[in-house]
Amino acid sequence: MRRGIAATALVAALALAATACGGGDSGDKADGPVTLTWWDTSNATNEAPTYKAMIAEFEKANKDIKVKYVNVPFDQAQNKFQTAAGSKGAPDIIRAEVGWTASWAKSQFLAPLDGTPALDKQDDITPSLLKQAQYEGKTYGAPFVTDTLALMWNKDLLKKAGHDKAPATWDELKTVAKDVKDKAGVDGFWLNNATYYEMAFLFGEGTDMVDAANKKITINSPEAVKAVDTSKGVLAADGVAKLDVTADAYAHMQDAFVNGKVAMIVQGPWELTNIYKGASFKDKANLGISNVPAGSTGKAGAPTGGHNLSVYAGSDKSKQEAAQKFVGFMTSGATQAKIALKNGTLPTRTSAYTDEVKAAPGVAEFQQVLATSAQPRPDLPEYSTLLGDAFAQNLTKIFQGKTGTQAGLDAIAGEFKKLVPDFS
């Protein structure tokens, strides 16, 4: 979730906008099919093939619409779309992280979808996910997939350490991690220091980065200090892997987990497909999935993420209408069920949770986590941006001991004030 537009990103974005966007001349003949461009931000290896298959199915049933698929790396997509939309050259459809939707709607980059085929049968959509796609009373995204964070654990390794269930609190996790190190000879837990993952500690202390309802910055509150100190304590505990601040830290964590070099991580359902390919999880039943550990409040909390499909406001009428139809197809219950079975993602429609989908490895467990500990994001366009560089850099300094917890969080609060100046 990197923020800021570097010069190189601007150049790359404009180049991509000029060659693969829907706002300009698509080259369609007057009597030919409408050609749409879709920027997909999913994993190009594991998820994209399923989406391409769905496009083929849609085009077969809709001869007058063609969909040009472009996979854009997730960590580049936000900046690229903002740049392209600002120059009236964005794709007709984009798979947008839920935190981007309100911000882009505020910037008038997205077209409202209320009353269009993109949001057919709204009663079937999980209400909280629909709310996350709204801004000032209008809906600017069709919920496509949802997710949250859970504790994933290697059952065999925990069993070797004398534990048959996941730790329910962070203190219990430290105990289990030490036992795993002592008895199984591998690290017990790997802490991901990305800001999105730190939210589980904040929620566990009953706080957030901001109190949107009361327009108050809370990242440096006593509760937030306790949350960060809790994560520091976990990081320093026996049996916990050393902090990895390299550019490949995420990949290192995943590799360690799937190969049995670490017993527990906090992760989302987007990695299920990869995890089940790992040496330690050839037997899919070996993967445990449960709520993230609870903080001192006794309650576990994790952020609700996911992606919406949104339509670019700068596309002409014929393209917007075709895009609405395509979005409606891709986010329908029937299509989401097919995608869930192939990609291991969590649907946003009730009808997509068929018996077959619920029986798929990992899906039922994550559905339970969503119901018990996931917290929806507040209606704040800047919320996603708050998770960016200022938070990340200062959090890392705190973990490395280069600054104190309160001082580091005060620095983050100061940067937040620039993003939400009307907050106290």
Residue ranges of domains in the chain: 7-147+304-375, 150-303+388-419
pLDDT at 30: 52
User: Is residue 338's pLDDT more than 60?
Assistant: yes
Same fold, 7-147+304-375 and 150-303+388-419: yes
Closest CA to 271 of 289, 287, 254, 252: 254
Does an H or E element contain 279, and which? none
Indicate the SS3 state at residue 54. helix
| 405 close to 229: Cβ distance less than 8 angstroms | yes
At the topology level, CATH places domain 7-147+304-375 in: D-Maltodextrin-Binding Protein; domain 2 (3.40.190)
What confidence tens digit (pLDDT) does each residue in 247-276 have? 999 999 999 999 999 999 999 998 998 999
Distance CA 17, CA 80 (A): 8
Indicate the SS3 state at residue 37. strand
Which CATH superfamily is 150-303+388-419 part of? Periplasmic binding protein-like II (3.40.190.10)
Distance CA 48, CA 315 (A): 24
Distance, C-alpha 9 to centroid of its chain: 22
Compute the residue count for the chain. 424
Q: What are phi and psi of 226, to 5 degrees?
A: -65, -40
User: How does residue 403 score in pLDDT terms, banded at 50, 70 and 90?
Assistant: very high
Burial level of 327, CB count in 10 A (0-12/13-18/19+)? buried
User: How does residue 89 score in pLDDT terms, banded at 50, 70 and 90?
Assistant: confident
Angle at 314 between CA 312 and CA 319, to 5 degrees: 70
What confidence tens digit (pLDDT) does each residue in 92-129 have? 999 999 989 988 999 999 999 999 999 999 999 999 89
Mean predicted lDDT score pLDDT of the chain: 91
Q: What are phi and psi of 76, to 5 degrees?
A: -110, -15
Distance CA 289, CA 368 (A): 10
User: Is residue 176's pLDDT more than 90?
Assistant: yes
* Residue 399 CB contacts under 8 Å (≥ 6 apart), including other chains: 193, 231, 232, 235, 243
Indicate the SS3 state at residue 95. strand
